[in-house]
Structure 1
Amino acid sequence: MTRMDETQHRLLEWTVGQQSERLAAQILADQGFQDIDPSHPYGGQDGGRDIMCSRDGNKWIGAVYFPRGQKSLTEIKKKLTDDLVAAREHNPHGLAFVTNQELTLAERRDLTKLADDIEIDIFHMERVAFVLSQPRMHPLRKQYLDIDAGPVPLDIRLSIDGAAHYFTDSHVLRDHLIDDEVRRIREGAAKARDRSPGERAELNTMARVMGHGELDDPPTEEETAKAVTELRLRVERNWPRSEEWLGTRGWDGLRFTVTNNAESFLTQVELILTFHGVKGFEKDYLHNPNHLTRYLLNPGWEPSDLQEWMAAKVFIPRLANREVQWQNDGNDLQVTITLKELRPEPAVWRSEPDEVIVMVSPSETPIEVTWFATAHGHGTAFTGEPITLPVDAALFRDALSRTLAGVDVDNS
């Protein structure tokens, strides 16, 4: 038998009598009921109140039915009907019927319709077995069903702070930058053509002294028009890279939190996360974004001399965090979190902020993140519930403002 089958079998073949009320009280507490007060857990007159409790601020009564072996629907219905009659004397909002009996979906629906004035919540055998099979309930399963849990199963919770982003208005800034650059090109060309022979000779002399050789002939109007056309085509073609360049500087990255819900220390823990259909980027802590306009117009631009290179490449160094690694794998982003030790809750592990920037194409569809975890001494991987990563529409100008905040920029 599997572990779940053994749990079901021992529930159905119940042999420990009134212990059922104590077990039912623990199940209700785990499932969100509060103010648990078993009336007579070892037997006795309880006046139709096996368990007094509350949920969402309303008074509930817990009724327990744990006979040995499967009973007929008629017998189960009679027991629940009697419990409802007794419960009405105490004016509850609802009655939680905890039983070790197997019930089909249709039978559960019929039983919940036995009262119009009292809400009925049925904890049938499969539901009770599921609750008891959760790792945190294994001590109770041992106590009441005498089922050894063996090694405590992995029970890990993962949360992700942050969102994927896309720009909504970057084309507006793109066109503005292109227009400014076009104006600069045309004004520069016109100014060069308007220079007098004397001015040109003086500039050539200065250029030779500085080791640059003589100036080129001023561009004709046709050459200027061609340069403008090539500029527009290049910027529009490379603009996705320009968006990536700014996004790694103006957006927040993701942060991960890992919690060990089990009552055991874990060692050599590894979590593998797959972000489906997205691409990841390194957070770039640009301290002094010199030549910002040049990078946006041409993300492949490189400074022409050492002085410019040093001015353009001043960064705040990012300390390497070996616990979190990531790579783009085809159309997906894969993140690996490796932890030497993971202490049980309430201790948690949190990554550094801005581990990875996630960029997506314009879409409101959340990103699905699937993940699993392994740990030393546990032969079975833990597969977590998929996580939904929200997608935020970001303004290009906001990212630009964050990049420029408090910094003087040379846009020449």
Structure 2
Amino acid sequence: MTTESRLRDWRGGPVNAERLCADLLQILGYSDVDPQATLGGPDGKKDILARRDGRLYVAAVYFPPTSPSFAKIEAKYVTDRRGVDGNDADGFLFFVNQHLSLGQRRDLLRQGTVVDEIFHLERIRSILDSPRGYGLRLEYLNRKMSTEEQVAFFSTLRHSHLQELIDNDDLVPRIAAEAAPIANLNFSLLQLLHRAMLTNDRLLGQVTGRLRTMHTQVRNGAGDVIYTPPRPEDVPRVLAELFIWWRNSYALALSVGDTKQVVQSLAKLHYGIVAPLPFLDANDRLARLITDQAARELIRRRVSFDLIADRDIYFSALHAAQGGSMHELEEFIWTALE
């Protein structure tokens, strides 16, 4: 199936549709992208809130599994656009997985302001079939990259430093936030990194890159429960809050340039990735990988693999962080800087 057909005949459900559109906004340069009630509940006529150029936007997502009439699309557009006034926003972003003619788009946009935008089937397809969208296409449509697309992805996308990151080779520091992979950490990049890191792990197989869907607990050698992470249905919310905090923290650390403050942020980021146990395995390795790259971008230093090598000290630091004290983990990361 093509990208177009998989979008038009959407089978991913409303949750994945909203997550896909939120991630699209991220790679298109919107900031503070905030899904409102992805897992259910009232959202106040705002599937997603986002900002760009000083404006607040309300985004609505309409991905029906079968092709509706234009009248139904228009009715949905009109209803959801009321969320602009209801949330004191400046503009409206409408995502629909169906074809819209130029005339139909004009008819819809006439009902709003000049800053409103429509992401129709062909526009979304174009983004997902470009290097910047390959990761999202793989994640949400399960459309793998061809050899040619992999070359384009790793050579032209700003996040093309991914494979170098996985190999842990020295990178040319990319300090500008808009060019740094970890500056805009999101669900798609987190899952892509996990999948790439474990690409040769036959034991994990198909679960790599997939958020866990089952309850789990951490036990010590005696079999006692020492940690119970959030429920699987709460993991997306916990991670979303972490990503929002991290983007703000990254910008602040970049402007201040203080190594001690950066290490404090790295400790919170590292624990924030490990604590919810988003994947069934290798959460600590993934957190170390991301912490390492973040340190490269912010202070041009590396975080040694030794960070997670001494398991007793590492788990002691995590346990202290669980209790509210980040000091041990901060010291641990500080000593692991190279």
- The TM-score range, normalised by the shorter chain, is 0.3 to 0.5
More helix by share: 2
Scaled by the length of structure 2, the TM-score of the pair is: 0.45
Structure with bigger strand share is 1
TM-score, L = length of structure 1: 0.37
| Greater gyration radius | 1
